[in-house]
Amino acid sequence: MEGPPRLKPLVAVCQVTSTPDKELNFASCARLVREAAGRGASIVFLPEGFDYIGESTAQTLSLAEGLDGDIMGRYMQLARECKVWLSLGGFHERGQDWAATQRIYNCHVLLDPAGTLVAAYRKTHLCDVELQGRVSMRESSFTNPGAEILPPVDTPVGKLGLCICYDLRFPEVSLALRRAGAQLLTYPSAFTFPTGSAHWEVLLRARAIECQCYVVAAAQTGQNHGHRTSFGHAMVVDPWGAVVAQCHEGPGLCYAEVDLGYLRLVRSQMPVQGHRRHDLYGTLEAKGLAAAP
């Protein structure tokens, strides 16, 4: 399935409402991927929890699979069928240590059009948040943190840095990816409504501006189950910090062209990376002046 040729590559960003029903979720995501491929997208981005969002920790753990399981096999076939790259932004992975830990990984999988697993980034920052009366999350109670940040991956739209959701709050990650050559940063997410309405767009635009990168953020939206509602507003931000594409209410897609010539222009006119004082950063910590948590 191939769309018309383009001078600038097209990215497609999905907004979905995952539930505990894995079959229904796959059908919904596959429909969006096929639609995006038909429009000529080079890469399709799916959000954190694209496979499912469980109602309880026990259900979340029971539904998890390995990267060699049925769900990932289906997405590999879908990539081959549609001839697109797939950013699968937060897979509930039973890793090789499942038997010993009984914990999963939150895994961002990148597939190429041959259905080959090109990269698997495991979320390094786990979301443990208590907002009185509004949000209570403790991802670390059932998830293992990843051990490394992956180098950016060459794709048809540029060098792609992989992150997941809560990583968005840690500019150290995006700056490290930028130093390693990233041209796009991706934050597939399942932000809650209270945190999303306050911080989502602000953080995405900040990461784009400070790194002079495109930022691509697929998102969960709406009521995932009886006691969880996601914020939505999947979007693409350009290297100047402008929102160039955005989903609104409900499941769907938004599209943006990636202009690496424009990215290079922004970087050349304001060469922020060359102005960074790496000789100074960290010196306060070295002097024992770091603030308490």
pLDDT tens-digit readout, 112-143: 999 999 999 999 999 988 887 777 778 999 99
Angle CA 61–185–286, to nearest 5: 90
Task: Pick the catalytic residue from 29, 48, 93, 213.
Answer: 48
Q: pLDDT class for 284, splitting at 50, 70, 90?
A: confident
- In angstroms, rounded to a whole number, what is the distance separating the alpha carbons of residues 230 and 252? 14
Structure tokens at 115: 């259905």
- In angstroms, rounded to a whole number, what is the distance separating the alpha carbons of residues 50 and 41? 19
pLDDT tens-digit readout, 78-121: 999 999 999 999 999 999 999 999 999 999 999 999 999 999 99
Task: Pick the catalytic residue from 14, 123, 163, 211.
Answer: 123
Instruction: Say whether 8 is catalytic.
Output: no
pTM assigned to the model: 0.94
DSSP letter (8 states) at residue 192: B
39 three-class SS: coil
Domains identified in the chain and CATH numbers = 10-286 (3.60.110.10)
- In angstroms, rounded to a whole number, what is the distance separating the alpha carbons of residues 17 and 166? 19
pLDDT tens-digit readout, 144-180: 999 999 999 999 999 999 999 999 999 999 999 999 9
Instruction: Say whether 123 is catalytic.
Output: yes
99, 107 contact by CB (below 8 A): no
Task: Pick the catalytic residue from 165, 211, 213, 254.
Answer: 165
